[in-house]
Amino acid sequence: MSHSPKAAISAIEAQFKVLQKVEFRGETSLTVEASKIAEICTFCRDTLGFDFLSDLSGVDHLGEDPRFEVVYELYHMAKSEWLRLKVRVSEDHLELPSVTGVWATADWHEREAFDMYGLRFEGHPDLRRILMWDGYPFHPLRKDFPLAGKPSAMPDVAFSEAAPLEGGPFVTVPSTATVKDREPRARG
């Protein structure tokens, strides 16, 4: 059963330039122009009835150009329909329009994408870090960020050495055992 709203997709294609349309497992993703995302989201809310932005997330496609992608998950509550919009953003131009004026819930989502990927949202009312501290110079969800972290010269605020990857509650150990036997709860 398809979860994608065919009429809404056709209306978007008729009104705006769609750069790519991908169908996978009954869901359709539309890649649109980054400069038009706020306008397209307004159209989706006001004309098509998508009254909820359930998620906005960044994706790093290291090695590709454009490198970054922002994914918008929209929901139409009355029809129980989902719509996925995507925009691509190059590393040279990390700025795109904010959709906080369309959905207030975009506020924290855009702040997280800014904090973790360095994406900037023009028109955002308070674009500042949400997870990392002010002045932190890196963006931890970028694929070129080292898994062990980066050393910090601020020992009162963060580790002064890279944190080890082993021993945490969610880290499994290499083994030929099944996943059930490798998980941390099975070791205790």
pLDDT digit string, tens, across residues 120-163: 999 999 999 999 888 888 899 999 887 766 666 665 555 555 55
Residue 56 phi, psi (nearest 5): -140, 125
What are the angstrom distances between the C-alpha of 68 and each of 38, 50, 63, 93, 173?
18, 25, 10, 10, 32
pLDDT, tens only, 98-110: 999 999 999 999 9
The answer to whether the beta carbons of residues 82 and 25 sit under 8 Å apart is: no
d(CA 118, CA 58): 10
pLDDT at 119: 97
Q: What is the mean pLDDT of residues 59-66?
A: 96
Residues 6 or more apart whose CB falls under 8 angstroms from that of 102 comprise 38, 41, 42, 45, 53
| Cβ neighbourhood burial of 136 (10 Å; 0-12, 13-18, 19+) | middle
Tokens 């329909």, located at residue: 81
Q: What is the mean pLDDT of residues 1-29?
A: 88
**Alpha carbon distance, N-terminus to C-terminus of the chain:** 43
pLDDT at 2: 43
Structural domains for the chain: 6-140 (3.30.460.80), 146-188 (no CATH)
pLDDT at 154: 61
* β-bridge partners, 76: 81
Residue 66: both structure tokens together: 């454009």
The whole-model pTM stands at: 0.79
The answer to whether the beta carbons of residues 48 and 11 sit under 8 Å apart is: yes
d(CA 137, CA 131): 13
